Amino acid sequence: MKVKKIAVIGAGVSGLGAIKSCLEEGLEPVCFEKTNDIGGLWRYKHITENGNPGIYKSLTCNTSKEMTAFSDYPFPDHYPNYLHNSKLMEYLRMYASHFHLMEHIQFLSKVCSVKRHPDFSSSGKWDVVVETNGEQKTYAFDGIMICSGHYTEQYLPLSDFPGIKNFRGDYLHTWAYKNPDSFSGKRVVVVGIGNSGADVAGEISNVAEQVFLSTRRGAWIWNRVWDNGNPMDTILFTRYNRLIEKFLPTFMINKWAEDKLNARFNHANYGLQPKHRFLSHQSTLSDNLPNHIIAGRVLVKPNVKEFTETSAIFEDGTEEKVDVVIFATGYTFSFPFLESDPEILDSQNSRFKFVFPPQLEKPTLAFIGILQPIGATIPTSELQSRWVVRVFKGLQTLPPVSDMIADITRKRKKMEKEFVKSPRHVHRVQYIHYMDEIASELGVKPNLFSLFLWDMRLAKEIFFGPCTPYQYRLQGPGKWDGARQAILTQRERILKPLKTRVVEHPVPFSSSLPWAKSICVVFFLLVPVFVIILVMYN
Ligand SMILES: *[C@@H]1O[C@H](CO)[C@@H](O)[C@H](O)[C@H]1NC(C)=O
């Protein structure tokens, strides 16, 4: 059979994983990247261009390295757990060079349109028009992987802020914010308390005269440094927790989480207490926000009702003179190259597992990384790609259209029930749950039951330890021989970067007591129950 040619659109984290997955399955990828380099969102540029994502100089990953890695390429052990954007770029370059991805990328090539080939219904082929150096060329492809990103455009609802047009100071979106230098001595209001809002307000407050952080609904704030100094996600995102979560009612999980976060600082006293419960809205990850608030450098305010020429008037009637407004109102994305195909474009909120538009006669177009996992994006996109290439090759089939639509509808209903209504919630998924779902399609979900019988040490780490991406390389297509070792050494890689001053009698970093306790319970008291649960869980 002829080798299939696949177009990968975008060379960000999702695009790189897509190219790699194509190569792994013997497909022939051509990646079109409109800028002159890889990395997408993660490549810091001092000037942000329209249509491209923009990040600030200090941006640091909100997921830790062991949870963020490509599944067969752990971060070097000395890398810090939470990576600055420049470090993540280093890793992406190493990944691209290790797997020889660069030679499959065509830079400064903008995809203008993706259209079904005239005989699409029998061949599943696509015509792709690409512009390079001002010249347009049409290519034929057997499959399309859209990896153009989820955070490419600023979401700036100016109409929600009466008077902003008459405001005489400056206003900008965090998309264009780079560093705090130009805010020295200014009075600044930051609108929005997502991750960027909290980061930017905090960092500017070190040099500004005063920062106001305006929030409509408040937020639960969690932090990277969790119990005993472990990276938060390595402690919370475990299969053990996921199992407990499954059996606990929602109100108990909310209570546990909110008590835990309030123990660090009381959200009501700090003016941050949201109207929503913990699980029903995105939480904000910020290590520093409470420090800036208690130091008075950041004052929390309600929503801005209107702007005057020189000030902001908040919904509680208070008025503050401000020089600059920074909108941290989030991001959106679009697919201009799909405009001629409204059917695919409109499939936005109804894709099978966020990947395949269900109604296409041939499953030869996929969206990669167009979702918001509560967890790391790199492994999520990568797993989607591994599944997609198997479908492209015909080694795996999708369910009938009606089943796919039923699945989509069921998920949407569930989401509407669980989350506060917001356009951005449409793409939210729980990390382990979603990973396992795709892994089951692909046949790479770790089989805990047999591991429990044959490789207890590994089974324990998989079940109690952080649900790291290497777990999805233990079996099935794309099996990686290093996966077991990568899992068994993950805790060493977490500790390694901290060992820059070695202490003589170290107290074990992760508290061993509750750990040992739960193991004892499982081993001596609950073995039968445990086995039954595992069987159900698989
Ligand atoms: C990390 O930040 C992104 C962008 O704000 C967000 O969508 C995601 O949920 C965050 N992840 C975690 C674990 O907080």
Same domain, 111 and 196: no
Q: How far is the CA of 19 from the centre of ligand 1 (A)?
A: 24
List the one residue out of 478, 471, 482, 483 whose CA is nearest residue 446: 471
Q: What is the CATH number of the domain that holds 198?
A: 3.50.50.60
| 272 and 139 in a common domain | no
| 112 and 32 share one domain | yes
Question: How far, in Å, is the centroid of ligand 1 from the Cα of 374?
Answer: 6
The residue whose two tokens read 């021989």 is 481
Residue 90 has what pLDDT? 98
Within a domain: 260: no
Give the residue among 465, 442, 435 at the shortest CA–CA distance from 395. 442
pLDDT of residue 514: 56
On whether both 387 and 521 belong to a single domain, the answer is no
Whole-number pLDDT of residue 349: 76
Number of folded domains that form the chain: 3
Give the start-end residues of each E strand in 278-422.
284-285, 298-301, 304-307, 311-314, 319-321, 324-327, 331-332, 365-367, 372-374
Is the four-CA dihedral 72, 229, 84, 55 of positive or negative sign? positive
138: containing domain: 5-152+332-437
Q: Are residues 317 and 299 in the same domain?
A: yes
Give the model's pLDDT for residue 522.
55
Q: Is the CB of 286 under 6 A from ligand 1?
A: no
Residue 227 in domain? no
Cα(285) to ligand 1 centroid in Å equals 7
Domain boundary among 418, 437, 456: 437
408, 437, 466 - which closes a domain: 437
Q: How far, in Å, CA of 168 to CA of 164, rounded?
A: 9
320 with 346, same domain? no
> Of ligand 1's atoms, which has the minimum distance to the CA of residue 63?
13
Evaluate whether residue 232 is within a structural domain. Answer: no
CB of 195 sitting under 6 A from ligand 1: yes
Residue 249 included in any domain: no
174 Cβ below 6 A of ligand 1: no
* Per-residue pLDDT, 527: 63
Tell me the torsion sign for CA atoms 280, 281, 285, 291: negative
What count of other Cβ atoms lies within 10 Å of the Cβ of residue 242? 18
Residue 258 lies in a domain: no
Whose alpha carbon is nearest atom 8 of ligand 1? 374
Q: Are residues 46 and 181 in the same domain?
A: no
Q: Quick check: is 116 in a domain?
A: yes
Residues of the chain with pLDDT under 70: 1, 422-425, 506-533, 537-538
Pick the closest to residue 46 from 212, 199, 179, 245 (CA basis): 179
Distance from Cα 375 to the centre of ligand 1, integer Å = 7
pLDDT of residue 323: 98
Residue 501's Cβ-count burial label (10 Å; 0-12, 13-18, 19+) is exposed
**Index of the ligand 1 atom closest to the CA of residue 285:** 14
Boundary of a domain, candidates 411, 437, 463? 437
Nearest atom within ligand 1 for CA of residue 196: 5
Residues 368, 309, single domain; the answer is no
Q: Where are the beta strands (DSSP E) in 68-186?
A: 105-106, 109-116, 126-132, 135-141, 143-146, 153-154, 170-173
Q: Ligand 1: does its nearest atom lie under 6 Å from the Cβ of 329?
A: no
pLDDT digits (tens, 9 = 90+) for 231-267: 999 999 999 999 999 999 999 999 999 999 999 999 9
**Same domain, yes or no, for 512 and 395?**
no
- Domain shared by 56 and 107, yes or no: yes
pLDDT digits (tens, 9 = 90+) for 134-172: 999 999 999 999 999 989 889 999 999 999 999 999 999
Q: Residue 368: what residue type?
A: I
User: Are the C-beta atoms of residues 202 and 298 closer than 8 Å to each other?
Assistant: yes
Instruction: Give the sign of the dihedral formed by CA 480, CA 484, CA 485, CA 489.
Output: positive
| 251 domain-assigned | no
From CA 341, how far away is CA 333, in angstroms rounded?
17
Rounded Cα–Cα distance for residues 492 and 494 (Å):
5
Question: 321: CA distance to ligand 1 center in Å?
Answer: 32
Would residue 466 count as lying in a domain?
A: yes
* 57 in the same domain as 206: no
Number of Cβ within 10 Å of residue 505's Cβ equals: 4
> Are 189 and 300 found together in one domain?
yes
Q: What is the DSSP string of 475-503?
A: SSTT--TTHHHHHHTHHHHHHGGGTTS--
User: Distance from the CA of 379 to the center of ligand 1, in angstroms?
Assistant: 14
Per DSSP, the three-state class of 329 is coil
